[in-house]
Amino acid sequence: MIPEIGHFALILALLVALVQGTVPMIGAARGDGAWMALARPASLAQLACVGIAFAALMYSFVVSDFSVALVAENSHSAKPMLYKVTGLWGNHEGSLLLWVLILALFGAAVALFGRNLPAPLKARVLSVQAWIAVGFLAFLLFTSNPFLRLDPAPFEGRSLNPLLQDPGLAFHPPFLYLGYVGFSIALSFAVAALIEGRVDAAWARWVRPWTLAAWLFLTLGIAMGSWWAYYELGWGGFWFWDPVENASFMPWLAGTALLHSAIVTEKRDTLKSWTILLAIIAFSLSLLGTFLVRSGVLTSVHAFATDPARGVFILLLLVIAVGGSLTLYGLRAPKLKSGGLFAPISREGGLVLNNLLLTVGCATVLIGTLYPLALDMFGAGKVSVGPPFFNRAFGPIILAAVAVAALGPMLPWKRADLAAVLARLKFALVAAVVAVVAVWLATGGASPLPALGMGLAAWLFAAALVELGGRLKLFRAPLADSWNRARNLPRSAYGTTIAHAALAIVVAGVIGSQAWQTEVIVLMRPGDTVDVAGYDFTLVGVSDVTGPNYTARRGRFTVTREGRPVTVMSPEKRFYPVQGMPTTEAAIHSTWIADLYAVIGEPAEGGGWSVRLYYNPLVPWIWFGAVMMALGGVVSLSDRRLRIGAPVRRRRRPAVAVPRTA
Amino acid sequence: MKRKHRRLIVVVVGMGLLGAATALALTAFKDNLVFFYSPSEIATKDIPEGRRVRVGGLVEEGSVTRLDDGLTVTFRITDLAEAIPVTYRGMLPDLFREGQGVVVEGRFDAAGRFTADEVLAKHDEKYMPPEVAEALKASGEWRGASE
């Protein structure tokens, strides 16, 4: 009964979306207030319908109703409750339902919080949003119905892929989707603006908080996925330039560019058609990512079993959505009037350069990701494009963007004096040089490139601090004065500083871990000691343990450094009998500067176990930096000027204002 | 400076960047494209020694042996028409087992032996790498669902 209610609610949601996609759009064209006003209740009704469907499926998973095919295939009664719940989106159908739920959530949020949006714009935005929902609901209902029944119902389920039974991955899809789908709002705003033929500063101000929210969720989602790959796959690495990873990284790059270009549109009323184009690109890349992951056209180390028919459907959606938006863009964009003038060396110029670097970087990732597909289509052979390509093609571009990110926030609008800005950055330059020399000496002068990279990170980090210091007039004005400035500084300024400093930390982490990782693969017997980058790993023993739904072989290492104990590490090799599948649980000890990483492997015939030990310098900085970057987004989002639905800022009342009586 | 000039600067910088990126991408492609072959193709093609390639197929039943050092594994990859021997030193992925589809990446040495430095098996036991499925179809040994 419950699954049928869910199925019915989903069909209802499709019908509501059809109405929401047409009536308000016609209303906006005719200027009919009542028709436009339908958008708001319709988007709330759509959220309610999809919410009921989602709740119904959730219920089936929680009570382990194996008469539902999806539950039987992906759940098991002995599974911990957390993974029963997250098992819902650990598969194709469920994850699409989550996709649609988040889409409806964003639509309803615009309907509820977008009170100060002009009625026609709001109606059009919600209509476009509804059309995206129509596409995905149809996809869900016609090719991937999550509510299909099994008759007879099996006695027990097949359980979730054990690799997915992990807290890191449990929340990775929702965050990733909040990011992907969040960009749909940017697209809806862009398409609505194209239909209206008007883009102004107010439009950019409405788009920015949504883009920012999507961006920060995507940042966290990517970080979580990367973290999961790091400790669950046991390869000691965190990013493999795999198609599935690139699929999430490309929208992030485009979204980051959009975030920056929208600032120019808001503040200077220019770069309008570019901002619109970026909004279209960001969501198109999200759709492309969904297509790549769900269709299985590319060989990926993260690939799961897929169905080609579904791939074709998503490709069709992709073509309609991207083709439609771009056609509209081609028709309407030339009519958008461009505003303020600016010199090449100015804040605008810096942001344009940022956008050029980010989009060109995004293009190289796209080429590297799709090239094997194109080559295969023309029958020119099967190839794979590995990390060396991306490191060489994408690396220099993004490092240039990092170098420019230090300068950008210090440039004034319209026209800037580069020499004066560089003079203010003396301190950052000194910090960069010190970092290069220190790192170069500390690593024994091996290769200068990583040292230069660390210098670049130091440059950005120091520049972010100098920029904030400059705004506060720190050390140049009395401390009380600086404190006052600090209190009145808009939160978005803090957001910029935090995010840029965080980027510096991530860059340092990535470069450090790539340059100075130590890997030891060795056969160890209990009592053996192996030295890894100055840490002595001793294998104490290996024992068998039993978990809730698995059995495991657990190794025990004691780690010492110069005779002093550091930690005890217990990596596991788990075996999940329901799926007959082993997984690797790496043991990780983090010192904030580096990770010690141990994996236990197979027993050897002559006794002993194969083990893999890593010293991963600066890897913790990557996660720390990513979370800090998202935090920068949160701080910026809390800026009153951007707060969703915040009324226009009123003039500050006089201090003696009489409090209103309630 | 006129509006036209300013726009020109943006366009020139943009083109310059795009050109630089294209150059970077092309040079990176030249050295880092890794071609994929099935064991049957390996048998007919002459692959220069030392060139990085990927080979995909099934791990031949009964071919996996561990050497005495406990770390080096040898096995044969087959598309059920031809098979090639592979040596790999390191830890195999969790889902590596006989009869399973895998992709290995590495080089042939002068004697024609293949040494892998990467072995890719998948997260999901139902999954078959598309290249492997195609290699099996090409050798007429595909037993999975037809498309």
Domain check: are A532 and A432 in the same one? Answer: no
Does A409 share its domain with A419? no
The verdict on B28 and B50 lying in the same domain is no
8 Å CB contact of A360 and B21: yes
Residue A458 has which token pair? Answer: 């130091």
Q: What is the pLDDT of residues A58-97, one digit of tens each?
A: 999 999 999 999 999 888 888 888 889 988 988 888 989 9
- Could you tell me if A348 and A473 lie in one domain? no
Encode pLDDT of A491-548 as tens digits. 989 999 999 999 999 999 999 998 889 999 888 999 999 999 999 999 999 999 998 8
The domain that holds A119 is classified in CATH as 1.20.120
Q: What is the pLDDT of residue A363?
A: 93
Rounded to a whole number of angstroms, the CA Rg of chain B reads 22
CB contact residues (below 8 A), chain B span 15-44, against chain A: 17-18, 20-21, 24-25, 27-29, 31-37
Cβ distance of A521 and B147 shorter than 8 Å: no
**Any domain includes A401:** yes
> Å from A648 to nearest chain B CA?
33
Residue B22 shares a structural domain with residue B75: no
Cα–Cα distance measured from residue A192 to residue B102, given in angstroms and rounded to the nearest whole number: 48
Q: Does the structure show a pLDDT above 80 at A270?
A: yes
Q: Is B127 on the interface with A (CB under 8 A)?
A: yes
**ipTM of this complex:** 0.81
User: Based on the domain organization, do B42 and B108 belong to the same domain?
Assistant: yes
A653, part of any domain: no
Domain containing A432 equals 415-510
Residue of A363, A392, A604 with shortest CB distance to B28: A392
Alpha-carbon distance B81 to nearest alpha carbon in chain A (angstroms): 19
Are residues B24 and B77 part of one domain? no
Among the three residues A392, A414, A436, which one is the final residue of a domain in this structure?
A414
Other CB atoms within 10 A of residue A133 CB: 26
Structure tokens at A408: 């950008």
Domain presence at residue B144 = no
Tell the residue number behind the tokens 């002595």, with chain if given.
A536
A356-408 pLDDT tens trace: 999 999 999 999 998 888 887 787 777 888 888 998 889 999 999 999 999 98
Q: Do B24 and A163 touch (CB under 8 A)?
A: no
Lowest mean pLDDT among A54-63, A125-134, A154-163: A154-163
More confident of the two residues A300 and A326: A326
Pair A183, A78 in one domain:
no
Residues B75, B130 within the same domain: yes
Helix axes A92-113, A39-62, angle to 10 degrees: 150
Residues of A in contact with B125 (CB under 8 A): 579-581
Which tens digit of pLDDT belongs to each residue from A109-127?
A: 999 988 888 999 999 999 9
Query: Is A642 within a domain?
Result: no
A182 and A310 assigned to the same domain: yes
Residues B21, B90 within the same domain: no
Q: Is residue A651 part of a domain?
A: no
Same domain (yes/no): A409, A504: no
The answer on A544 and A502 residing in a single domain is no
In this prediction, residue B146 has a pLDDT band, given cuts at 50, 70 and 90, of: very low
Query: Which pLDDT score, from 0 to 100, does residue B139 have?
Result: 67
CB of A414 within 8 Å of a chain B CB? The answer is no
Given an 8 Å threshold on Cβ–Cβ distance, is A612 in contact with B70? no
Q: Would you call A397 and B66 a contact, using CB atoms and an 8 Å cutoff?
A: no
Assigned domain for B87 exists: yes
Q: In this predicted structure, what is the pLDDT of residue A452?
A: 92
The tally of domains found in chain B comes to 2
Q: Check B33 against A385: CB less than 8 A apart.
A: yes
B145 lies in some domain: no
Is the domain of A301 the same as that of A368? yes
- pLDDT attached to residue A388: 87
Q: Which domain holds residue B120?
A: 35-138
pLDDT at A662: 37
* pTM across the whole model: 0.90
Put simply, the answer to whether A396 touches B92 (Cβ < 8 Å) is no
Does residue B147 fall inside a structural domain?
no
Give the nearest chain A residue to B147 (CA atoms): A308
A575 touches chain B (CB under 8 A): no
At A234 the pLDDT is 73
Q: In this structure, are B63 and B120 located in the same domain?
A: yes
Shared domain for A235 and A317, answered yes or no, is yes
Given this model, what pLDDT does residue A40 score? Answer: 93
Instruction: Tell which of A115, A149, A165 closes a domain.
Output: A165
**Total number of domains constituting chain A:** 4
CATH code for the domain in which residue B59 is found: 2.40.50.140
Q: Are B69 and B8 members of one domain? A: no
What pLDDT score does A345 carry?
Answer: 83
Of A210, A202, A203, A219, nearest to A186 by C-alpha is A210
Q: Are residues B18 and B72 in the same domain?
A: no
Instruction: Note whether A313 and A183 are same-domain residues.
Output: yes
User: Of the residues A396, A414, A432, which one is the last residue of a structural domain?
Assistant: A414
Instruction: Kindly state whether residue A9 falls inside one of the protein's structural domains.
Output: yes
Q: Chain B contact for A143, CB < 8 A?
A: no
Residue A659 has pLDDT above 60, yes or no: no
Q: Report d(CA A96, CA A10) in Å as an integer.
A: 12
Whole-angstrom Cα Rg for chain A? 27
Yes or no: say if A403 and A429 are a contact pair by the CB < 8 Å rule.
no
Residues A451 and A530 in one domain: no
pLDDT value at A304 more than 60: no
B76 and B124 in one domain? yes
Q: Which of A107-121, A461-475, A630-644, B120-134 has the lowest mean pLDDT?
A: B120-134
Nearest CA in chain A to B69: A523
Residues A261 and A652: their CA atoms lie apart, in Å, by: 30
Are both B61 and B21 inside the same structural domain?
no
Q: Are residues B107 and B91 in the same domain?
A: yes
Q: A457 with A438: CB under 8 angstroms?
A: no
A405 and A532, same domain (yes or no): no
Q: Per the domain annotation, does A646 fall within a domain?
A: no
CB contact under 8 A, A580 and B123: no
